[in-house]
Amino acid sequence: MNSTIKHILRFVCLLALQLLLINNLHWLGAFHPYVYVLALLMLPASMPRWVEMFIGAAIGLLMDACCTTAGVHMAACVAVAYLRPLLLGQFVQDTQRIVTQVCTATVGARPFLLTVATLIVVHHALICFLEAWSLEHFGWLLLTTLISSAVTFVLAFLYDRTQQ
């Protein structure tokens, strides 16, 4: 129960950070780190997969409403929610044991960082490409994706440090 409240609180804080601060900073006009995805990435691994996907869909829809992007964040978040257990399963033997949250302290540094890095890139790439809805500026979209992902990853890494 305590852990549920923590997850909700974290999501609210990340959402506020995303909407009030990060969306108002203009990173050279192009780079958009989406840190809110961290709330989805750190959910306990013992969670049933369908619950995780519905949470992903809900978070995505909420972000869509906030950014006027209609479905883009939803698609990206659902993909992340679907892929996360598969990726974690590659690194961690018994995922059901992780009932609090997924972080370095519970799954180990390498599995955590690899999973998070992959999923952040997937998430950001989907958002960039779906929002543009064309491949006209492929190179640019790729660059935006990579730099935004890097910024999000650094923030995720720093946040993870505080969870020791």
CA distance 124 to 126: 5
Contacts with other proteins: how many residues (CB under 8 A)? 40
Q: Over the range 110-138, which residues count as b (16 or more CB within 10 Å of their CB) and which as e? A: ebbbebbbebbbbbbbbbbbbbeeeeeee
| 89, 137, 154, 161: residue in contact with other proteins (rule CB under 8 A) | 137
Phi, psi dihedrals of residue 27, rounded to the nearest 5°: -75, 80
107-136 positions binding other proteins, by CB under 8 A: 130-134, 136
Q: Which stretch binds other proteins (CB under 8 A): 1-9, 57-65, 101-109, 115-123?
A: 57-65
Q: Which stretch binds other proteins (CB under 8 A): 14-22, 36-44, 90-98, 115-123?
A: 14-22
Residue with tokens 């809805």: 133
Residue 75 binds other proteins, judged by CB under 8 A: yes
Phi, psi dihedrals of residue 79, rounded to the nearest 5°: -60, -45
How far does Cα 126 stand from its chain's mean position?
A: 12
Residue 142 binds other proteins, judged by CB under 8 A: no
Longest Cα separation, the chain: 48
Residue 50 binds other proteins, judged by CB under 8 A: yes
Write the binding mask 30 to 49 for other proteins: x where contact by CB under 8 A, - elsewhere: xxx----------------x
Residues that bind other proteins (CB under 8 A): 16, 19-20, 23-24, 26, 29-32, 49-50, 53-54, 56-57, 60-61, 64-72, 74-75, 78-79, 82, 130-134, 136-137, 140
